[in-house]
Structure 1
Amino acid sequence: MLIEFSVGNYKSIKDLETLTMHASNLQAKYPHLEQDNLFLGKDDLRLLKSKAIYGANASGKSNIYKALETFIKIVANSVNREKILRWEIIPFRLNKATQSEPTFFQIQFLKDDITYRYGFVADSESIHSEWLFKKVERETLLFTRVEEEFEYNKTQFAEGGIISEILKESNENKTLTSYLLLTFIAKVMKGKISNELVDFITKNFVLVSGLDSERNKKNAEDFIENEENKKILVDLVKAADMGISDVDYIDFNEDKKNEKLNKKDEKEIYVFAVKQSFNEDNKKSGIEIMSMSGEESKGTQKMFELAPYIINCMNNGGVLFIDEFDSRFHSLLTKKIVELFNSESNKKGQLVFITHDTNLLSSELLRRDQISFASRDKFGASHFYSLAEFKGVRSSKSYENDYIHGKFGAIPSLNDFEELFLEDNG
């Protein structure tokens, strides 16, 4: 589970900003928010099941998503993609002081009742520093690296000894400065702890753009090839009131499975929705097959594409982070999905989402610490803050009206559009 993610000097994020899933000490008015919206861990650890992020266009709210995406990409590929830092590290460019400074990333997460804190500082050319800590009762260093200096815990992180030996060879230093040591130990040296943590970070944090239809479509097609998966997906789509009685597919290359296919022809799937049809007397007369991509609405397509991510997160745990969550969805549907994650049935999945849907700003749906805002200051830098930081906010009413009227910031300052089209009569 995610505890918190911090980033500094990345795109529109100039200063260190943190997305936290820690629950505050504020008491929610409605008891179900204390019971259903939280995961309760050891040592009084209380984590939020979901987090909503609001903000004006160009406020930088999507950059916290992109920062986590970049962090995961570098952890996954710092060894096998030579120029990964050059492609992914983008500092805050609106200030001369930060243009040449490195970027900071740090994540805290819970795995097997152990809290891990891992992070690194990097620019487009090299890793400047890197650290890994674990906490059971108290926090313990596993390894730290500053430039070419490396220190590790010989008792709890013995695999660090491999790196210690390699760093003694001066000709290896320049090579390792462009690698994350965690990834190097995991992928090259096959270190057990490192491999488990890299695997956890790259597989348990799933980032989805609500507008990236092609990627999501392919994932959904792969998902429904399993009959059990297909059944629960159909149930979820039907529960979303899309007017569908079934979803199925035809694999046009089914009879060629034993042949060697060209890579581009490995899978050619036609996904379709099954709907009830009626005769002229409005009596059931059969079914109609409708192309998912060609005949179904964009909302139905998006529900089909997001369903596998929702199902996997609810069943297997992890963090689902969705950008453009409410795009193409009715507000009642987005609310229903949020309610699903904030429910007693959700035992291990977290949902973080970026949205403009103010209907979700309900004190009966979300705790104040589950609502975050992104705003951009006059110098172009993005800042993130929680509704829980505001004093005098009553938890017995909707937060929507106060947000729309600017009480919490994070809304656009719009000029008069009409003046742009008025003739100058003077």
Structure 2
Amino acid sequence: MFVQFTLKNFLSFKEETTLDMTAINAYKEHPNNLIDIGTKEKFLRVAAIYGANASGKSNLYLAIRYFQKIIKESLNNADDTKDQAISKYYIPFEFDKKKENTEFEIIQIIGDYEYKYGYEYNQERIVSEWLYRKNIATNRNTIIFERDNDSLKFGPAVKKECDMYKEQIPSETLVLTFFNKLKLQTEIFNGVFSKIMSILVADTDLFENINVLKKVLPDVIDNDKENLLKFLNAIDTGIKDIYYEQSEKDVRFLTTHYDGAGNIYNINLLSESEGTIKSIIVYIYARVTILTNKSMFIDELNVKLHPLLLKFIVDLFYDQMSKAQLIYTTHDTTLLDKKFFRRDQIWFVQKDEIGHSKLLALSDFKVRSDSSFEKDYLAGVYGGIPLIKDFEMGAGE
């Protein structure tokens, strides 16, 4: 389960910034919006991030994506002609003459433990890296490893097995990546690596990519058509059936419609609206995420989705049998309402006059009990909206 993500000196986020999915216990509204794992703390199922164009909210998505990419690729530099991962994905705050290190850190719950993993890097090397584990039942913290430049110290849980390898880890390679590649008795490295990689981090283009349908939709039709059709009926697409025809070269999807007289019409899925196609892809990924208790971070989820359909997707994540989570950025203020969200579920990204992005939760503001979240947001109370300056436009001739 996704608990926190922290970044520093990445693109427009110069200062340390944290997205926290820990619920505020003082808020009693919408208890079904929370994940309860039997501890004092509960966690948010959904978080919505609002912000103006160029405010930096997409940079938050990119931070998590690049965080994953460096972990995945930092050992793949055997070919000297390839750029190192840390060089490719080092994009510090631009408006500084001195380029400082970038930092990422994630906190996740895996089984009975909370893991805190992070690293600091520049285009030349991994500067520091750390992994800590906390027993949720006893609240006891232990060190798995700590790295500071060329110094690497292992905790007792992995020291005996890992100490012999520490001189073999290149300066541009993460310890987590290195040990994930080895066959070890401990499952700590594989577990943390897999959990981080299991977060679906994507922009809206993924859900508009027809090639994605070809990869995933046949399996859904074969094994979960009933639920897919229920979804298509719930969002009023008019689709009564969906099936596919496969050849050696391609796969063709068809949808079934009825007219008022009961006549049947089968049409190519690609002839459906872009919103319908995107809805199907979003639903498939959302359902898999929910069934597997994973997390999704989607940039601009609302694009080409009707506001009521966006609400339908959000509501899927309130399945009380799942621990899945959805984090998304959006411009759509339809759901910016106390009827749908708790105050700790709503976040705003705003950029100051020198280009620094800041991430603030609605819970950071003093909000009256009778406040309209949407009205106050559009009035600029919480920031995160574009500053439209007066300008004159000449009349056409």
Is TM more than 0.5 here? yes
| Cα distance in 2, alignment partners of residues 242 and 124 from structure 1 | 49
Match of 2:382 in 1: 408
| Cα distance in 2, alignment partners of residues 340 and 214 from structure 1 | 20
1:359 match: secondary structure: coil
Match of 2:332 in 1: 357
Query: 1:288/1:14 Cα in 2 relative to 1: closer, same or farther (>3 Å)?
Result: same
CA shift, 1:90, in A, is 0.7
Match of 1:262 in 2: none
| Cα distance in 1, alignment partners of residues 277 and 394 from structure 2 | 38
Match of 1:90 in 2: 91
| Cα distance in 1, alignment partners of residues 262 and 370 from structure 2 | 47
2:302 match: secondary structure: coil
1:292 matched to 2:286? The reply is no
Alignment coverage as a number of residue pairs = 386
Q: Map of 1:272-351 to 2, 5 A cutoff?
A: 272-276=254-258, 278=259, 282-285=260-263, 287-293=264-270, 295-344=271-320, 346-351=321-326
Q: Map of 1:170-185 to 2, 5 A cutoff?
A: 172=168, 176-185=170-179
TM-score w.r.t. structure 1 length? 0.86
Q: Map of 1:16-415 to 2, 5 A cutoff?
A: 16-28=16-28, 30=29, 33-34=30-31, 36-81=32-77, 83-97=84-98, 100-136=99-135, 137-156=139-158, 158-164=160-166, 167=167, 172=168, 176-188=170-182, 190=184, 192-203=187-198, 205-213=199-207, 215=209, 217-226=210-219, 227-253=222-248, 268-276=250-258, 278=259, 282-285=260-263, 287-293=264-270, 295-344=271-320, 346-391=321-366, 393-415=367-389
| Cα distance in 2, alignment partners of residues 311 and 372 from structure 1 | 24
1:416 match: secondary structure: coil
**Letter in structure 1 aligned against 2:368:** R
Match of 1:257 in 2: none
| Cα distance in 2, alignment partners of residues 269 and 125 from structure 1 | 45
| Cα distance in 1, alignment partners of residues 226 and 124 from structure 2 | 48
1:403 match: secondary structure: helix
**Letter in structure 1 aligned against 2:256:** V
**Letter in structure 2 aligned against 1:376:** K
Query: 1:183/1:247 Cα in 2 relative to 1: closer, same or farther (>3 Å)?
Result: same
Q: Deviations over 1:270-319 (max 9, x none)?
A: 2222212x3xxx4112x2222222x1111001101111111011111111
After superposition, the CA RMSD in angstroms is 2.0
* Gap regions ≥5 residues in structure 2: none
Say if 2:208 and 2:274, in contact at 8 Å, map to a contact too: no
| Cα distance in 2, alignment partners of residues 337 and 141 from structure 1 | 39
**Letter in structure 2 aligned against 1:289:** N
CA shift, 1:251, in A, is 1.5
**Letter in structure 1 aligned against 2:171:** T
2:218 match: secondary structure: coil
| Cα distance in 1, alignment partners of residues 230 and 145 from structure 2 | 47
Query: 1:231/1:77 Cα in 2 relative to 1: closer, same or farther (>3 Å)?
Result: farther
**Letter in structure 2 aligned against 1:225:** P
Query: 1:252/1:76 Cα in 2 relative to 1: closer, same or farther (>3 Å)?
Result: same
| Cα distance in 2, alignment partners of residues 4 and 289 from structure 1 | 47
Say if 1:7 and 1:103, in contact at 8 Å, map to a contact too: yes
| Cα distance in 2, alignment partners of residues 159 and 379 from structure 1 | 49
Say if 1:326 and 1:357, in contact at 8 Å, map to a contact too: yes
2:344 match: secondary structure: helix
CA shift, 1:95, in A, is 1.8
Q: Deviations over 1:84-141 (max 9, x none)?
A: 11111211111223xx211100000011031000000011221111000000022211
CA shift, 1:42, in A, is 4.1
Say if 1:274 and 1:290, in contact at 8 Å, map to a contact too: yes
* Gap regions ≥5 residues in structure 1: 254-264
Say if 1:159 and 1:185, in contact at 8 Å, map to a contact too: no
Say if 2:21 and 2:47, in contact at 8 Å, map to a contact too: yes
**Letter in structure 2 aligned against 1:146:** D
**Letter in structure 1 aligned against 2:306:** H
Query: 1:18/1:128 Cα in 2 relative to 1: closer, same or farther (>3 Å)?
Result: same
2:205 match: secondary structure: coil
Query: 1:181/1:49 Cα in 2 relative to 1: closer, same or farther (>3 Å)?
Result: same
Say if 1:38 and 1:49, in contact at 8 Å, map to a contact too: yes
**Letter in structure 2 aligned against 1:284:** G
Tell me which moved more, 81-90 or 327-336.
Answer: 81-90
1:224 match: secondary structure: helix
> Which protein shows a greater Rg?
1
| Cα distance in 2, alignment partners of residues 289 and 322 from structure 1 | 32
**Letter in structure 2 aligned against 1:206:** L
2:242 match: secondary structure: strand
CA shift, 1:73, in A, is 1.1
2:309 match: secondary structure: helix
Say if 1:101 and 1:123, in contact at 8 Å, map to a contact too: yes
CA shift, 1:237, in A, is 2.5
2:393 match: secondary structure: helix
CA shift, 1:214, in A, is 5.7
CA shift, 1:209, in A, is 1.4
CA shift, 1:397, in A, is 4.6
CA shift, 1:163, in A, is 2.6
| Cα distance in 1, alignment partners of residues 333 and 232 from structure 2 | 24
**Letter in structure 2 aligned against 1:311:** R
Identity of aligned residues (%): 33
| Cα distance in 1, alignment partners of residues 230 and 396 from structure 2 | 56
| Cα distance in 2, alignment partners of residues 271 and 178 from structure 1 | 45
| Cα distance in 2, alignment partners of residues 229 and 146 from structure 1 | 49
